Amino acid sequence: MSAPTRTELDRTRFFIDGGWVDPTGSESHQALDAATEEPLGTAALGTAADIDAAVGAARRALDEGPWGRTTADERAEVMIRFADALAARGEATSTLVTRENGMPIALSTAFNGAAPAGLLQMYAAMVQQTALEEVRQSQAGATLVRREPVGVVGAITPWNYPQTLAMMKIAPALAAGCTIVLKPSPETALDSYVFADAALEAGLPPGVLNIVLAGREAGSALVAHPGVDKIAFTGSTAAGRIIGAECGRQIKRATLELGGKSASIVLEDADLDVFVAGLAGASYMNNSQTCTTQARILAPRSRYEEVVEALAEHTRALRVGNPLDPTVEIGPMASQTHLERVLGYIDVARQDGARLVAGGGRPASEDRGWFVEPTVFADVANTDRIAREEVFGPVLTVTPYDGDDEAVRLANDSEYGLGGSVWTADEQRGVDIARRVRTGTIGVNYYQLDLGSPFGGMKASGIGRELGPEALSNYLEYKSIYASAAFLP
């Protein structure tokens, strides 16, 4: 094996206790540009010993350091400085993530350049407006009801929206007064340390935020560590089951945002121009490397071929290419391994007899990079493997239905429940159908994440909610102090 290529983007040390620390092991990850396969940089991979050091720093910052004694206003002040430091790096961070995982640059600018700072600002304001202690009259006198930080948080994040998904955990945790150990995914090995650079500039106290890039073994050590009070995880359902089991064994708090196989219900009165225009957010966002991807298109039998043709025509016209080009709509997959996974599912659909109407292979225009054509299969039964399992790439299926009840039944006939959409000329009818679908989020005539409202899944798509005030509650514990009536206002 050849030695890793070194670049100015290398990150060969971990961020622990407010400084840069050498790894205890020798493993590293070579990051490659998803569109060109050229080396981006090398990042060290952590061990259980590195995780232990990070947890120890987080515990000291909470129990002994100043962070555990800060007021909401003091934390908010630090968070605003943190937000400003991230915003100043937004353009460079957006470009780096696009090179790492293939995200189209316009989307990366929003989700990796702007959203993290916005989330910090939102939770800084929110915690200042939240009563962290209130006094209630009781039969014996008074009860002081307190909201206190849950403690040390282990945050485990994926590669598809690395900056936003990390900050969806970091921001409410900081607002609540928690300390954090962040374990990012090796597939986006380099951008996570932008948080460290910004935290240093903002004056975040040592140990409040610690970052150790690592693989599954060290991730398991973080979940199992007795010094961690809560795990916040975004990733696959398979990994979520293992994490949930360990957290249950330890009676450890957990928020799990997991996989999805969401459905778009096209009603017979839908405007198909609106539907295909909405696919960018509902089905093809981030090259469909999105947990909420609505990959199952449910079409009324009365308009079935019309829906299939509109979807196929739109998909064939999508521009595939280097995601740094702002006119490109579909970039590459995040890695060679992931590309092979997506192509494998395309082969499965073919073997199962689905009708290919768009895409189906590698684009002829791209001779380098991990590109796959956006693909549509028609005549897919809801029991087919391609309709049951999460592909996590631009592969959509079309299934016919008769009547609203069957559409809802098919949409709900999945182990997952994370996203979804309904397309109709009658918005009230669409909302009524949306209420019947067992999913954590669903849009009517569009799908767009709302940072101020709860996000998460039902069934095998997860436990708990992120975003909105509901997320702040996930990082707080309640304590009742029984006292005399002297404490009553």
- What is the per-residue DSSP string for 13-25? SEEETTEEE--SS
pLDDT for 22? 97
pLDDT for 155? 98
Rg of the chain's alpha carbons, rounded to an integer?
A: 23
**For residue 232, is pLDDT > 50?**
yes
Q: pLDDT-based confidence at 8, cuts 50/70/90?
A: confident
**Do 226 and 129 fall within a single domain?**
yes
β-pair partners for 479: 146
Dihedral pair phi/psi, residue 26, rounded to 5°: -120, 0
- The structural domain count of the chain equals 2
Please tell me the distance from the alpha carbon of residue 397 to that of residue 419, in angstroms, as a whole number.
Answer: 16
Whether residue 328 lies inside any domain: the answer is: yes
Please tell me the distance from the alpha carbon of residue 48 to that of residue 225, in angstroms, as a whole number.
Answer: 9
Please tell me the distance from the alpha carbon of residue 12 to that of residue 31, in angstroms, as a whole number.
Answer: 12
CB atoms < 10 A from the CB of 139, how many?
A: 5
Please tell me the distance from the alpha carbon of residue 55 to that of residue 77, in angstroms, as a whole number.
Answer: 25
**Do 109 and 241 fall within a single domain?**
yes
**Do 239 and 274 fall within a single domain?**
no
Whether residue 174 lies inside any domain: the answer is: yes
Look at strands 263-266 and 421-423 and give their pairing.
Answer: parallel
**Do 67 and 187 fall within a single domain?**
yes
Q: pLDDT-based confidence at 3, cuts 50/70/90?
A: low
**Do 232 and 128 fall within a single domain?**
yes
Q: How far is CA 467 from CA 97, 126, 149, in A?
A: 22, 12, 17
Whether residue 487 lies inside any domain: the answer is: no
**For residue 2, is pLDDT > 80?**
no
User: Which of 9-18 are b and which e, b meaning 16 or more Cβ less than 10 Å from the residue's Cβ?
Assistant: bbbeebbbbb
The amino acid at residue 167 is M
Domain, as residue range, for 309: 263-451
Of the candidates 100, 187, 257, 329, the residue annotated as catalytic is: 257
CATH number of the domain encompassing residue 285: 3.40.309.10
Q: What are the pLDDT digits (tens) for 32-59?
A: 999 999 999 999 999 999 999 999 999 9
Do residues 358 and 392 lie in contact, with contact meaning Cβ atoms separated by under 8 Å?
A: no
Whether residue 79 lies inside any domain: the answer is: yes
Whether 257 is a known active-site residue: answer yes
Question: Which of 217, 212, 176, 172 minimizes the C-alpha distance to 192?
Answer: 212
**For residue 90, is pLDDT > 60?**
yes
Whether residue 9 lies inside any domain: the answer is: no
**Do 246 and 156 fall within a single domain?**
yes
**For residue 4, is pLDDT > 90?**
no
Q: Which residue has the tokens 């970052």?
A: 211
**Do 109 and 125 fall within a single domain?**
yes
pLDDT for 293? 98
Percent of the chain with pLDDT over 90: 98
Q: What are the pLDDT digits (tens) for 183-219?
A: 999 999 999 999 999 999 999 999 999 999 999 999 9
Q: pLDDT-based confidence at 484, cuts 50/70/90?
A: very high
Token pair recorded at residue 210: 């610690």
Look at strands 152-156 and 230-234 and give their pairing.
Answer: parallel
Q: pLDDT-based confidence at 5, cuts 50/70/90?
A: low
Whether residue 335 lies inside any domain: the answer is: yes
**Do 182 and 225 fall within a single domain?**
yes
Sort 160 into a burial class: Cβ within 10 Å, 0-12 / 13-18 / 19+. Answer: buried
Mean of pLDDT values over 459-474: 97
Residue-level length of the chain: 489
**Do 416 and 297 fall within a single domain?**
yes
Q: How far is CA 396 from the centre of its chain?
A: 21
Q: At what angle do helices 72-88 and 90-101 cross, to 10 degrees?
A: 70
**Do 338 and 467 fall within a single domain?**
no
Q: pLDDT-based confidence at 67, cuts 50/70/90?
A: very high
pLDDT for 1? 43
**For residue 6, is pLDDT > 80?**
no
3-state class of 425 per DSSP?
Answer: coil
Q: Where are the alpha helices (DSSP H) in 318-436?
A: 336-351, 385-388, 403-412, 427-436
Q: pLDDT-based confidence at 458, cuts 50/70/90?
A: very high
Q: Where are the beta strands (DSSP E) in 320-430?
A: 355-358, 375-378, 395-401, 421-423
**Do 366 and 292 fall within a single domain?**
yes
Mean per-residue pLDDT over the chain, rounded: 97
Whether residue 2 lies inside any domain: the answer is: no
Q: pLDDT-based confidence at 7, cuts 50/70/90?
A: confident
**For residue 279, is pLDDT > 80?**
yes
Q: What are the pLDDT digits (tens) for 441-455?
A: 999 999 999 999 999
**Do 151 and 281 fall within a single domain?**
no
Helix (H) / strand (E) element for 92: namely helix 90-101
Whether residue 489 lies inside any domain: the answer is: no
Mean of pLDDT values over 336-350: 98
3-state class of 116 per DSSP?
Answer: helix
CATH number of the domain encompassing residue 140: 3.40.605.10
